[in-house]
Amino acid sequence: MKTTFAKLTLATLIAGSTLIAGTAEAATTTETKATTQYNALTPGMTIAQAAKVIYGKDYKKQLTKKGSSTVLKQKAEATSTSQGQKTTLYSIYDRKADFPSAMTTLMFMTKKNDSVYRLTTKSLDLYRGTTTSGARESKMKLAKGAKIKTGMTEKQLDALLSGKGLGEWTGLDTIDLTSVQTKQELELGLAIKVKSKTYVFPTATKTKKLVILDYNAKKKTYVVSGQASL
């Protein structure tokens, strides 16, 4: 999946960063706020509805018109048009910070030949300047000699870690294109919906392990879809 590829690319980038070594810490106010906003952002929302979640009562000041479409005033990271369907991408983070600790990325698309943008992809990545990986790391440590395999369920992965549960995640992703797909596509069972979460686990060595899990609707649990050493 594109999400997995993007996360593994990010892993390569932050693995090359020189950061201050540290231990896992409790969620910060910024992380908690960003997570609350992420959970409140619902696939299918218009840009105006999403802006209200992010900016609160003054959200209208963050909006403008581009042709017949309502968009954010801030510059989009990318825009495109293909076969009458428009796409725009925004990154939301503290631009004044030297090291932003939370970044929300939102992709909006229109239906073919329509002007209303709807939320189709959302992601949240949490960073820590106090960790060697640059990411918010889990408190759960990967056991010495443990081997993570693609397709492992969340329960199987948990068995390889110290403590109970997977601990703190560093990234969340949701892709849901159903609001801009055609009725025919949906009736044919071609709905595109993907959910994933990313963790960075300490190991018995100085190496950290980044693990991506995708939600498997048939198994009704998350399964390992990718991994990288940091």
What does pTM read for this prediction?
A: 0.88
- Residues in Cβ contact with 57 at an 8 Å cutoff, skipping those fewer than 6 apart: none
pLDDT tops 90 at residue 158: yes
Average pLDDT (60-77) is: 97
Q: Give the type of residue at 198.
A: T
**Per-residue model confidence as pLDDT tens digits over 69-118:** 999 999 999 999 999 999 999 999 999 999 999 999 999 999 999 999 99
Angle made by CA atoms 217, 211, 76, in degrees to the nearest 5? 80
Q: pLDDT value at position 25?
A: 57
Q: Give the CA-trace dihedral at 28, 32, 37, 40, to 10 degrees.
A: 170
Q: What is the pLDDT of the chain when averaged over all its residues?
A: 91
pLDDT tops 70 at residue 220: yes
Q: Give the CA-trace dihedral at 19, 21, 24, 26, to 10 degrees.
A: -60
Q: pLDDT value at position 152?
A: 98
Alpha-carbon distances, residue 140 vs 41, 155, 191, 208, 210 (angstroms):
29, 14, 35, 11, 12
The domain limits of the chain are: 1-24+139-168+194-230, 26-127
Q: pLDDT value at position 26?
A: 63
Q: Which of 25, 30, 70, 28 is nearest to 49 (CA)?
A: 70
What are the φ/ψ torsions at residue 50 (nearest 5 degrees)? Answer: -65, -40
Return d(Cα 170, Cα 3) in angstroms, integer: 14
pLDDT tops 70 at residue 18: no
Number of H helices, E strands in the chain: 5, 10
